[in-house]
Amino acid sequence: MDAEQVELARMIRDADRIVLFTGAGISTESGIPDFRSPGGVWTKQRPIDFSDFMRSDAARRESWRRRFEMEETWRMATPNRGHRAVAELIRSGKASCVITQNIDGLHQDSGIPDSKVIELHGNTTYAHCLDCGTRYEIEALRVDFEQDGIVPHCACGGWVKTATISFGQSMPVEAMRLAERETLMADLFISLGSSLVVYPAAGFPELAKRNGARLAIVNLQPTGLDEIADLVLNQPIGETMGAAVGVD
């Protein structure tokens, strides 16, 4: 371990209740592209706004076309060493939960129970009806779409959408409430792979710090909150967290 990793390991050892916070950077190490990054999908193709999805059949069709186009990427991705380190901190009781901006479900795939994964932007690995909430599996929807051109919709008449929070869609109330509660109980807040510039998500590390917790940031690039952090590591997440937590 280098000196910074040793310091991170020491902060983890000294903490009683850690909250982990993850962004795109932890999942790029599993081959999932960072949509917001320079050259990322969203710089070439404007994201579809929630109001457009609700209003326009063409927007719904395009939204689903893009989702199915990405299916191979989502389906093939598996948790990496960074996810395993997060899972170990939660399994051992050191950390209470992980708050994530990611929609890939890789924290659950790494063995963390749903109840300890707080998804601020939802989850793209399944879909649900926006009216009645019925859950739908992506694969069945894809077959209908590709074979018969059917845009996913529910028996109740509602539109079916991936369980993600789109631009223009309100933040999930329960997830936001839980994330705030956990943040206020933490004595160490570790942000992994988030540029910490997207609000309200980036408000949680700030809240933790104001509330007296220590703040550690691991991200390849500088972030919006480096100035208030106790420790900043511009290193890969898997390698850094793996070493600090002691998992392969």
Q: Least distance (Å) from Zn ion to the CB of residue 154?
A: 3
- Residue in 1, 58, 132, 197 binding Zn ion, rule: CB under 5 A: 132
Q: How far is Cα of residue 163 from the mean position of the Cα atoms in its chain?
A: 13
* Using rule CB under 5 A, residue 135 touches Zn ion: no
What is the rounded CA–CA span in Å between residue 174 and residue 21?
17
Rounded to the nearest whole angstrom, what is the least distance from the CB of residue 139 to Zn ion in the complex?
19
Selected range binding Zn ion among 96-104, 148-156, 169-177, 216-224, rule: CB under 5 A: 148-156
**Helical residues (DSSP H) of 211-248, grouped into ranges:** 237-245
Sole binder of Zn ion in the list 99, 129, 229, 237 (CB under 5 A):
129
**Using the rule CB under 5 A, which residue among 2, 16, 114, 131 binds Zn ion?**
131
Measured in whole angstroms, the distance separating CA 147 from the mean position of its chain's CA atoms is: 31
Dist CA 49 CA 248 (whole Å): 40
The SS3 of residue 184 is helix
Is residue 130 a contact residue for Zn ion (CB under 5 A)? no
121 is annotated as an active-site residue: yes
Residues 149-188: x/- map of binding to Zn ion (CB under 5 A)? -----x-x-x------------------------------
124 and 162 Cβ atoms separated by less than 8 Å: yes
**Sign of the dihedral defined by the CA atoms of residues 99, 165, 30, 219, in that order:** negative
Residues that are catalytic: 121
Binding residues vs Zn ion (CB under 5 A): 129, 131-132, 134, 154, 156, 158
